[in-house]
Structure 1
Amino acid sequence: MSSANASVDLTLPVGQHDHVQGSLSAPIMLVEYGDYQCPYCAKAVGVVQEIQNQYEEQLCYVFRHFPLTQHAYAMRAATAAEAAAAQNEFWQMHYCLFSYQSDLSDEALLRYANGLELDMDQFRQDLNSSDELHRIQADIQSGIDSGVDRTPTFFINGVHYQGDTEITTLLKAIKEYAPNFREI
């Protein structure tokens, strides 16, 4: 089975609208469409972090929301991540949501926000804001347009990666689809 399908590309280029770790000019652009309630996405967090630790200056990692309808709390969790982003705490909430994936109730989301020392009045307001939902819907639509049908789904330099999320397999695909990648 091929690890990527060159006929399916990322339709929305990475830009200022995205949640990004690393430089937008890095030779490796790794885009993930994920769902905070998906156990496979939670597992992928460690894989991505390991790749980031190995190739930090060469990697730009982007997370886009793709909450699956079968996950009852995924959309609300994505909204909580966006509400935290409004206070420049997206990544802290992102990791918190995956760490405590077994409880994504509203009460838990408020507890996590409080633990991150967010402005709770602002967080509550943003948690119920249509602006946050529009941002998530834009991610979902870009995923649909790019052929995303499950989570996690990765794109490596715009190419749809269709292999598993084990570190060795993903690194092999990165080396194959990122021609400017330098082995460290």
Structure 2
Amino acid sequence: MTGEHELDDGLAAFDQLGREMAETNRLLRAVQSDQVARRQQEHDRSTEMQAALGQATKASQKALQAAQAEIRSSLLWTGLTAFLIVLVAFGGGYFFGQRAGWSSGHADGYQKARNQEAAASWANTPAGQRAYGLDQLGSLDLVSQCMGHDWQRSTRDGKRVCFPQADAKGNMAGWYIP
């Protein structure tokens, strides 16, 4: 009976081994199906993340394009404003400069005309006629620039004076020169 008992024990052990193998196979299939499910979940999450990343990239590109367009627009308006300010400044400068120049020229012309009128009026006086006569004879430059023979130039009271030759007593008489 020991042989039979051993055979029963061996069959029971073999039967137990078969059940354990079946349980191991069942557990392996469960692990495999869990792994497949996890891989599918990871794949789904990866796909979702790639889609979200694509949307984020598109959104950032749109934001970048909008910012670039805003910068261009701002630069354009800033440039146009600066150009208009410069244009107004040049226009104002020209206008005020032209008016000031015209006023100054008008005043200078009026003063010269007054001086010319005074000179013309003086030229008609007896002294003016004598000066004209000296000029016609070529002596006006000689007298006005103190260029006669042995004439001396000097300064008195901050004015230039011309002295011709001294008289017999050594006194000198002269005139102021311009």
Q: TM-score, normalised by structure 2?
A: 0.20
- Higher strand content, 1 or 2: 1
- Higher helix content, 1 or 2: 2
Which structure's CA Rg is the greater one?
Answer: 2
| Relative contact order, higher structure (CA 8 A, sep 6+) | 1
